Amino acid sequence: MLELNAFLGVAVLKRENRAYRGSAGVSEGCRDACFRPAFRDLETGTVYLSRDLNGQVAAFHSLDGLPDEVIAARYTNGKVAYAKNTLISGFLKGGTFYTRQEAADQVDHQEESMAGTADCRFVD
């Protein structure tokens, strides 16, 4: 079972990145398998593709592009301090949300012969 954070902030994302370093549980580790950084709201089931402040798709987990309804607090410069506690980080692939662990498990189970051959054409 997933444990909810008090609030999802940069410190939590950094802790998750350290925990999954060297695996497909981080953006760098699963990009070649067509996983895109995303967030899921466990309360509503809504999935949000990770975006930067300008709304461009981000290559990593960025809180700054999340919509206001999932933001708990912002800094004075407009950047997100914390998202609501029902938001979790993970990845989106083929319309399905994967937790960090699920993405890591999926990539680990792919055949070695398929590594690096994926055609990741994304539509925003």
Residue 117 lies in a domain: no
pLDDT on residue 119: 61
Task: Return the residue matching tokens 């055949």.
Answer: 111
Domain that holds residue 49: 8-109
Buried b (16+ CB within 10 A) or exposed e, 17-35: beebeebbbbbebbbbbbb
Residue 122 lies in a domain: no
pLDDT on residue 108: 75
Residue 12 lies in a domain: yes
Residue 123 lies in a domain: no
User: How many domains does the chain fold into?
Assistant: 1
Which residue pairs, CB below 8 angstroms and at least 24 apart, start in 76-81? 78/53, 79/53, 80/9, 81/9
Residue 120 lies in a domain: no
Q: Judge whether 8 and 85 are in contact, CB under 8 Å.
A: yes
pLDDT on residue 106: 87
Residue 114 lies in a domain: no
Whole-model pTM? 0.84
Residue 118 lies in a domain: no
pLDDT-based confidence at 110, cuts 50/70/90?
low
Q: In this predicted model, what pLDDT tens digit does every residue of 23-67 receive, in sequence order? A: 888 988 888 889 999 999 999 999 999 999 889 999 999 999 999
